[in-house]
Every structure is written in structure tokens, then in C-alpha cells.
Copies of this chain bind each other. A is one copy, B any other.
Amino acid sequence: MGESSANGSPTSADAAGRALAARVADIAPFQVARVFERARQLERAGRRIVHWELGEPDFPSAPTVVAAGKAALDAGRTGYTETLGLPVLRQAIAERYPAAVDAGRVAVTTGASAALNLLAQTLIDPGDDVLLADPGYPCNQGFVRAAGGVPKRVPVDARTAFRLTLPALRAAWTPRTRVVLLASPANPTGALLAANEIRAIVEFAAAAGAVVVMDEIYQGLVYDERDPDPFARTALGLDDRVFVVNSFSKYFGMTGWRLGWLVAPPWAMDAIDRCAQNLYLAPPTVSQHAALAALEPPALAVHEARRRVLARRRDVFLRGMDALALPVAHRPQGAFYIYADISATGLPAQAFCGRLLEEFGVAAAPGTDFGSHRAEAHVRFAFTVDEADIRRGLERLGAACRAMIGSPR
């Protein structure tokens, strides 16, 4: 894409200067996308790269999910569905929550991306403050800005196990705070919020006239419980000012199908429906039919087996990090990321990731993709590759650390 720079020829730069919206300047590209692109270049040149940069597991969708997609195609399901999704899918999702909700409160969306965007458009006025954790999922700021809101990043770190706490929220609260965005399990740290912490935040926000959007995209991917119900850990039902966002991408292994959902209080559904009609028309049809299978026992057994595989990978990864004496900023209880503190190398995160990739063949995401609070001191490693690649990566990471900071203590 040699043409794709915003600063091309002088004429183009003039045109861009006149024609691009101001918000564009605030939208940072994902550095991880550049890391991935460079990793692919190196692979094409014959290098063997360990991919720890991507938030996408190496599993294909479960066989019954794929079969359901094909069956939908055979049945000619190629037209639009209802804007908020197939009624049978909304019902299937609604029924799986511990305290079943009315299916009318469920909106099936084109990935959690669409759910987050719809909530931003429905809840945020220009100039509203939205509180969110730093570090956190980078696109959240994009959704807030697209709606004219102001993302206010609240620093979280090891002192609170990377949890966004009520005291930190209180300290960051402004008269313009309209929305609090929580995530559990959280990206990039794998941190979990306890039920009582969420409840306290929801009560505080509700009393202050704000709403809480709970990102449960990694719901079900928790590792310190035996046989967890993938729908058990939810903020749903705490208050009629709580919105829940979820995805078929992570636990259900359906990234490329682009399907997620939200559950909203009844008073917001009509507005969400109208926004979805205008901005999306409907989510992808074949994906919805496939998702029905993702919620059934045969696929759930596959997902549960994969969760166990991920749990073992996490343990291998953490033991390896301990052996390298490279500090893990937070031992993840969920999601599939290790957030590592690389400050001992003396290199800022992007430079560290650059050397790690170029010299040692390991791709990782710099902390600067996820915020600014001590971001230069951190790197995110995704355990979305198999154990052999995790061990291979750990060896290379060890060599990198020896080269950058001397032998491990």
C-alpha cells in the first residue's frame, strides 16, 4: 500500500489537510498490526517466527459450528435477518445466563465491535467523559471518540492486580462522566473483577447518573476454577443501568465470523434497535446460524476442552517466565495474555518488541497499544499458539533477555 500514507505528495497532503475529520488524528494505528505484518515479511524470507502478538487463538471453529454454517448455506440462508438478530439466537443467548433474561433485551451484533459502537452511539453525547482502564482494549477509545465522547483513562497497575477499583474511579470522576467501561476478564492483563467490586462500582455509577458497560468478551475463559459455567461470571442483573457486551470470537472460537451480542436494559432497546437499523442493517446471516451450534453441547464440549488447553499453556508460560526471572505484571486468571514487565531491559516497549522480533524471531504487542500508564515498560504475550511454540518462544525470550540485560539472576 505505497499509496496509503496520509502524507503523500504535497497536493495529497493539502487535500488531506482540508478534507479529513479532526478525530482521525486521535485514532492511533495498532502497533501490533505492524508487528504482525513485519513478522509475515520475515516468514516469507524464510524465518521461523513465534506469534505471540495476536489476540486470536490458533483453533479453527468447532466442527459442528462449521457444519452449521455449511448447512445454512445449503438451505439458501443468504438473505438479511432481523436487525437485532435471529429471534431463535437471541432466545438461545438469553436462556444461558444464570438468571435468564428476556430475549428482547439481547441484540446480536456484528462482532463485539458493533455492540461497543452501538452502545457508544446510544449512550454518549459529544463532550461526555467515559472512564476506562489504562491499560485496556485499544479500540474502546475509538468507539468513544466516534460518538464525540472523551475517553478518560484511569491508570491501573499491579497494586490493584490491574483491576479498575472504585477508589480509582471516584478519583477520576467528573461532572461529565456518563459511562464507565469495565472489562473482566481484561485485555491485556487477564485480570478479573470480583462480583462485589463490580456491584460497588455499579451502585456508585448509578447513583451518579452514569451507566456501566461491562465488557465480558473473554467470559468463560477463566483458568482457576474447575468446569466453570461459561455464562456464570456476569454483571447482568445487577442494575437497570448495566449493559453487557459479549462475543462469539473468544470462548466460542468464531473470530472471522464477526458475531457478538449485547444485553441492555429494556429502556434502551428501542434506541439500540434504531441505531442498529441505520448503522448495520443486520449481522451476517450464516454466522448467526453457525452461532446457534456454538451454544449447543457438542461445540461446548470442544470449547471447554480448549479452555483446558489454554489453562495448561498459561501455566507453562508462567513457569517459563519465572525461570527467566522476567516479571509478570499480573498472573492472568482469564483471557489469553501475559502482561510482562520488561523495564529491566532498559528498552521502551516498541524498541524491545522490535529487537525481539528482528533478532530473536518472537512477535509481541508493545504495551503502548493498550494505553499510556507505564505502557513503555510492558509487553503483551498471547498464549494463542501451541505449547511447542510457547516453549520455543520462551527459549528465544531467554536469549533476548540475556542479550539485553545479561544472564537471568
Residues of A with Cβ closer than 8 Å to B?
Answer: 1-6, 8, 11-13, 15-16, 18-24, 27-30, 33, 56, 60-61, 65-66, 69-70, 73-74, 76-81, 83, 102, 104-105, 110-111, 113, 117, 121-126, 138-139, 141-143, 146-148, 178, 209, 211, 240-241, 253-258, 265-271, 273-275, 277-287
Q: Which of B11, B70, B126 contacts A126 (CB 8 A)?
A: B126
- Could you tell me if A60 and B78 are in contact, using CB atoms closer than 8 angstroms? yes
- Could you tell me if B29 and A56 are in contact, using CB atoms closer than 8 angstroms? no
A sample of 15 cross-chain residue pairs with beta-carbon separation below 8 angstroms, ordered by A number, consists of: A1-B269, A19-B241, A19-B267, A19-B268, A20-B123, A21-B122, A24-B121, A56-B79, A70-B70, A77-B256, A110-B258, A139-B281, A256-B284, A258-B285, A284-B287
Q: A19-B211, A121-B146, A257-B286 are in contact. List 6 more A-B contacts (CB 8 A).
A: A19-B241, A21-B124, A111-B280, A146-B278, A257-B285, A258-B281
- Could you tell me if B280 and A113 are in contact, using CB atoms closer than 8 angstroms? yes
Q: Taking the full assembly, how many copies of this chain does it contain? A: 2
The docked-state distance in angstroms from the alpha carbon of A117 to that of B114 is: 12
- Could you tell me if A24 and B60 are in contact, using CB atoms closer than 8 angstroms? no
With A27-B278, A33-B83 given, is the CB distance from A267 to B13 under 8 Å?
yes
User: Considering only CB atoms, which chain B residue lies closest to A22 in the complex?
Assistant: B125
- Could you tell me if A267 and B12 are in contact, using CB atoms closer than 8 angstroms? yes
- Could you tell me if A271 and B121 are in contact, using CB atoms closer than 8 angstroms? no
- Could you tell me if A56 and B80 are in contact, using CB atoms closer than 8 angstroms? yes
- Could you tell me if A104 and B3 are in contact, using CB atoms closer than 8 angstroms? yes
Instruction: Determine the chain B residues whose CB is within 8 A of the CB of A146 once the complex forms.
Output: 121, 146-147, 275, 278-279
User: Considering only CB atoms, which chain B residue lies closest to A116 in the complex?
Assistant: B279
- Could you tell me if B271 and A258 are in contact, using CB atoms closer than 8 angstroms? no
With A104-B4, A240-B12 given, is the CB distance from A284 to B267 under 8 Å?
no
CB distance from A53 to the nearest CB of B (A): 13
User: Considering only CB atoms, which chain B residue lies closest to A141 in the complex?
Assistant: B278
With A73-B70, A255-B78, A281-B111 given, is the CB distance from A266 to B147 under 8 Å?
no
CB distance from A38 to the nearest CB of B (A): 14
The docked-state distance in angstroms from the alpha carbon of A113 to that of B283 is: 11
- Could you tell me if A6 and B257 are in contact, using CB atoms closer than 8 angstroms? no
- Could you tell me if A281 and B125 are in contact, using CB atoms closer than 8 angstroms? no
Instruction: Determine the chain B residues whose CB is within 8 A of the CB of A123 once the complex forms.
Output: 19-21
The docked-state distance in angstroms from the alpha carbon of A83 to that of B4 is: 14
Instruction: Determine the chain B residues whose CB is within 8 A of the CB of A122 once the complex forms.
Output: 20-21, 24
- Could you tell me if A274 and B28 are in contact, using CB atoms closer than 8 angstroms? yes
User: Considering only CB atoms, which chain B residue lies closest to A87 in the complex?
Assistant: B1
User: Considering only CB atoms, which chain B residue lies closest to A14 in the complex?
Assistant: B267
The docked-state distance in angstroms from the alpha carbon of A78 to that of B266 is: 33
CB distance from A408 to the nearest CB of B (A): 35
**Residue of A28, A70, A138, A266 with most partner-chain B CB within 10 A:** A266
- Could you tell me if B209 and A81 are in contact, using CB atoms closer than 8 angstroms? no
Instruction: Determine the chain B residues whose CB is within 8 A of the CB of A270 once the complex forms.
Output: 4-6, 29
Instruction: Determine the chain B residues whose CB is within 8 A of the CB of A65 once the complex forms.
Output: 78
- Could you tell me if B16 and A113 are in contact, using CB atoms closer than 8 angstroms? no
CB distance from A209 to the nearest CB of B (A): 5
With A1-B104, A29-B274, A278-B139 given, is the CB distance from A6 to B267 under 8 Å?
yes
Instruction: Determine the chain B residues whose CB is within 8 A of the CB of A110 once the complex forms.
Output: 110, 258, 280, 284
CB distance from A143 to the nearest CB of B (A): 7
Q: Which of B33, B79, B255, B266 contacts A4 (CB 8 A)?
A: B266
The docked-state distance in angstroms from the alpha carbon of A253 to that of B209 is: 46
The docked-state distance in angstroms from the alpha carbon of A74 to that of B69 is: 10
